[in-house]
Amino acid sequence: MADFANTLSSVLKRNRIYATHIAAASGVERSLISRVMKNERTVSFHTVKRIIDNINVPSEDHELLIHSFIEDNFGYQKYLEYLKLLKEFSMHDYLNKPSGSGNNISVQLEFSDGIMDLNSKTEIINVARHIISLETERSDGKVYSNIPTGMMVEIMRSFPDKPIDFKYIIDNFFYEKEKLLALSDVFNLMHIGYVCNYFPLSKQKLHLNFLFPHYIITNDYILIIDLFNETGFLSANKSVIEKYVKVFLNNFEKTTPYIIRLDDIMKLKEINASYFARGIEKTTFLHSFGCFATAYLDLDMWEQIAKPDVPNRNFLRDTTYKYYQETYGAINKDLCNISSKESLAEFVDYGIIKSMPREFAYPLNKENRVKVLEKMYNCFQSDDLFFYLYNDTDLKLGSEFGIEIFDNTFIPSHMMLYYPTENCQLHFCGNLNFLLDDAATTHDFAEFVNCFALSDYCYSKEKSLKILQEEILRCKMLPEE
């Protein structure tokens, strides 16, 4: 940190500012500031931001301090390149991108006694694409499925860019090739609409004790799949469809021995949540306020935003609430959330929870918006938690764009990147994400996001909390709904 230490010393000397002045204004200990100036001590991005934001110097000196710190810790040119990519990526018009070769999806269906046998993964995927494509042409197209994410992504690749109301139930499948380890992977799956439970057992034991048939149910067909043997069957028989709908959609908790009882599922969630929480070292979010608000919903709020006609509605409500409560409840230090000021205002005005699947599509009422805002305000008073708002007028990242980064010790660190798209099978607001288990890549992006928080794009934590407090008051003053 030699460059930053020298720059800080020269800036303070030039402006006749002493370490005691900065300490009084920023709350950072004077001895620590002195050691930083002598290049005897390294400090975090958050501490440096507190120092820089509380130095009354010309704007060019502010820029010098930020430039030197980023140069020491990340590389300023590299930061500018990442920032440029971030802007380009977030502003790309995904909704109008070419749809690819999958638009004309057509398979010849050949039934024998109302059943079409499928004997390979290729056959299964082609048939799945075909019956889903038929739903995209309907005004009331719906697909109920519990297919694992890896296969669903493959099925939906190059699919027509048309919105479709996919539903989800639950997936207990541990797909080894996807390297699904614990609740960290459930984060990724949840964001594209699955409530999933994974347990680190052998494939064989899981097959015997935790597997139930995977299916895709549409208005006209049901596709039943054995993913271990890569076989399945398609039926257009209405009575067969009705039977499976009754079993898998309407009486989910009673379908033993195929399905784990609710208590067992909750137990698995507790085990995974505990395992996941132990490994979290640092968590960084750069996304819309309406996404991060998910962490602060209580059960009554889940009840309010869940659609009334969803199969297994109460089960999904309870398990999803418990998942977020346990997981986010375990993150009690070194959490940094960066949201746009504009997305905060949007949440106050409309109460939309951006990261939720379609089943949780209703906005929060005014009373619950206030509760979420106040919870967050109280939470981020802690010195271990960091909250920054940025002005989106220059960046225009958009209220659905986001990056979530988890640095873990017991399980691979991972990052999720999501952006708006019409070709999203499960999200209410249209987000997809990508899981990167590459620790070096994850760390690199975490450092970039820290640089972003340090920059002049972001308000200080104190200023951000003040803006949040003002928005709480504004929300309370909104007219009754």
Asked if the model's pLDDT at residue 453 lies above 60, the reply is yes
**Mean pLDDT score of the chain:** 71
Tell me the C-alpha distance between 292 and 186, whole Å: 17
pLDDT of res. 198: 29
The most confident of 136-140, 378-382, 405-409, 437-441, by mean pLDDT? 378-382
Asked if the model's pLDDT at residue 126 lies above 80, the reply is yes
Tell me the C-alpha distance between 189 and 319, whole Å: 14
Q: Indicate the pLDDT class of residue 448, thresholds 50, 70 and 90.
A: confident
Q: Indicate the pLDDT class of residue 104, thresholds 50, 70 and 90.
A: low
Tokens 């659609």 correspond to: 307
CA angle 265, 270, 276 (to 5 degrees): 120
Mean pLDDT of 264-282: 54
Q: What percent of the chain has pLDDT over 70?
A: 59
- Cβ within 8 Å of residue 405, ≥6 positions away: 283, 284, 285, 413, 414, 415, 416, 442, 445, 446, 449
Tokens 């306020």 correspond to: 289
The most confident of 273-277, 284-288, 296-300, by mean pLDDT? 296-300
pLDDT of res. 246: 66
- Per-residue pLDDT tens over the stretch 368-391: 999 999 999 999 998 889 999 998
- Which is more confident, 331 or 138? 138
Q: Which range is least confidently modeled, 19-28, 328-337, 459-468?
A: 328-337
**pTM of the entire structure?**
0.66
Q: Which residues of 100-111 are buried (b: 16+ CB within 10 A; e: fewer)?
A: eeeeebebeeee
- Cβ within 8 Å of residue 454, ≥6 positions away: 45, 48, 49, 52, 66, 69, 70
Phi, psi of 106 (to 5 degrees): -145, 130
- The CA distances from residue 168 to 121, 216, 364, 440, in Å, are 21, 10, 22, 33
pLDDT of res. 279: 60
Instruction: Give the count of beta carbons closer than 10 Å to the beta carbon of residue 469.
Output: 13
pLDDT of res. 465: 97
Q: Indicate the pLDDT class of residue 218, thresholds 50, 70 and 90.
A: confident
Residue 168: name the closest of 142, 133, 188 by CA.
Answer: 142
Q: Which range is least confidently modeled, 141-145, 349-353, 474-478?
A: 141-145
pLDDT of res. 368: 94
**CATH numbers and ranges of domains, the chain:** 2-73 (1.10.260.40), 115-170+211-259 (3.30.870.10), 264-477 (3.30.870)
Q: Indicate the pLDDT class of residue 295, thresholds 50, 70 and 90.
A: confident
- Per-residue pLDDT tens over the stretch 416-430: 555 444 333 333 222
Tell me the C-alpha distance between 3 and 212, whole Å: 60
